[in-house]
Structure 1
Amino acid sequence: MPAATGQPDQPPRAAGVAGVVFAVLLAAAIVLIRIVFPELPPAATTWHATSLGRAALRVALTLLPFAGIAFLWFMAALRAYLGAREDKFFATVFLGSGVLFVAMLFALATDADSMLFVAGTSAGGPPPQLWRYSHHFTFTLLSSYCMRIAAVFTFSTTTIGRRLNLFPRWLVWLGYLVGAVLLVVVTEVPWSELAFPFWALAVSCRILTARSRS
């Protein structure tokens, strides 16, 4: 599909609002998960022994479903805006990667919720082996899979935005940079998962600003 030559109509406000909600909720959930599940867990599980640790994880698990719903709304609003102008190839990658991202996000939340349930029902907390398994599963799903499929979503969305002249040059470069970070270095650099909600926030603010100016 050839690139658009003119400035397209502005996308619906729902895309910008849903993107902001998603970015804020996901960033808060990632921060809480990183705090509750430290990168190098102690020899004995200690997070479940404090009410603060359990409360932080409950808050993160409460935020994740709403983050996923906001993300789906963000996708739907953008796809409705693209309409017949969308490139079939990139639109398929856009839709597939977005759905996979939400599915992995919910799987991560299910594992963390199971760990919280075991911590609340087991005398003395979960066994160390279960803690290590849950810790490894949570961070492997978050960094190795969830964020890498988010990189695919970032690349495809940025490419669509560039081809339709929806994104300015700085946002295009930011999208490709964030996609590269999520794809290559996310497993090596702690907290780099926050690059994805930061990019979503930048895209959403651009949409809302463009609508206000129009």
Structure 2
Amino acid sequence: MRENAPGHSALRTPRAAGLAGIVFALLLAAAMVLVRLGVPEGADTVTARGFTDSGHRDALRAALALVPFAGIFFLWFLGAIRAHVGAVEDKFLATVFLGSGLVFTATLFGAAAAAGAVLEVAHPPGVPPLPAAWDFGRHLAYTLMTGYAMRMAAVFVSSLSVMGHRLGVLPRPLTIAGFVTVLVLLFASSNVPWAELVFPAWSLLTGLHILRAGRGRGRDAG
């Protein structure tokens, strides 16, 4: 039983990583869309009057409620992948992979906190937010998300793509998609609206691949 236990654990780890990646991708994509709708980027004070509408505020509240769970599943995704490839991965790439994932999570939570500050800023009911508070909170949230979190996501994707290519656990099309995602996150996420959605899209594809690979290994072991 002791000899079989490690093999059984190794077969279950990729499946856990796949499920965590899929759930993380769906939660993060939903949160990003709701934040974009609730706090429009580039909106001036006149547009901010729409923020007094209950629909915009409810969209932002829903996004903020999803972010902590997205972070939890991302950490599960990160940990399960490390457990799967930890015995043979390059130490340099392992450090970059882990560090970028942790910084991404922290920056994601910071962006959510900034968006929450926009939501909770004190102003009379039915009156647009104060211009200074609106601009500061909105710019801080989008700078943390598109300027910093997405850059850390690019480092995370690139390190995982390199490790997956070296180990032969990621197919060539997924590796190419990873490097395209890196370029978009590095150079377009802070300038092109909605470009940050490529990260949850890549995470979804990666999670589906790992889940399918885990099921295939389980059938082979059976």
Which position in structure 2 is the counterpart of 1:67? 70
| Counterpart mapping for 1:70-149 below 5 A | 70-118=73-121, 121-123=122-124, 124-149=127-152
Determine the C-alpha separation between the residues in 2 that align with 1:133 and 1:24.
28
* 3-state DSSP of counterpart to 1:39: coil
Which position in structure 2 is the counterpart of 1:194? 197
The code of the aligned residue for 2:213 comes to: A
Q: What CA deviation, in whole Å up to 9, does each residue of 1:30-71 have, x standing for no partner?
A: 001111121220333224311111100000000000000000
Kindly report the root-mean-square deviation, in angstroms, between the aligned alpha carbons of the 2 structures.
1.3
* Count of equivalent residues: 204
Contact 1:158 1:176 in 2 (8 A): yes
CA displacement at 1:213 relative to structure 2: 2.5
Q: What CA deviation, in whole Å up to 9, does each residue of 1:74-131 have, x standing for no partner?
A: 000000111220110000000000000000000011111111111xx42134211111
CA displacement at 1:138 relative to structure 2: 1.1
Q: Does 1:185 align with 2:188?
A: yes
Contact 2:24 2:70 in 1 (8 A): yes
Determine the C-alpha separation between the residues in 1 that align with 2:50 and 2:168.
48
Which position in structure 1 is the counterpart of 2:5? none
Contact 1:154 1:175 in 2 (8 A): yes
Determine the C-alpha separation between the residues in 1 that align with 2:79 and 2:150.
20
Unaligned ranges ≥5, structure 1: 1-8
Which position in structure 2 is the counterpart of 1:5? none
TM-score (norm. length: structure 1):
0.91
The code of the aligned residue for 1:99 comes to: L
CA displacement at 1:200 relative to structure 2: 0.4
> Which of 45-54 and 99-108 deviates more?
45-54
Determine the C-alpha separation between the residues in 2 that align with 1:164 and 1:90.
12
Determine the C-alpha separation between the residues in 2 that align with 1:26 and 1:181.
17
Which position in structure 2 is the counterpart of 1:170? 173
CA displacement at 1:212 relative to structure 2: 2.3
Which position in structure 2 is the counterpart of 1:212? 215
Q: Does 1:156 align with 2:159?
A: yes
Q: What CA deviation, in whole Å up to 9, does each residue of 1:111-161 have, x standing for no partner?
A: 11111111xx42134211111111111111111111011000000010010
Contact 1:143 1:193 in 2 (8 A): yes
CA displacement at 1:20 relative to structure 2: 0.4
* 3-state DSSP of counterpart to 2:45: coil
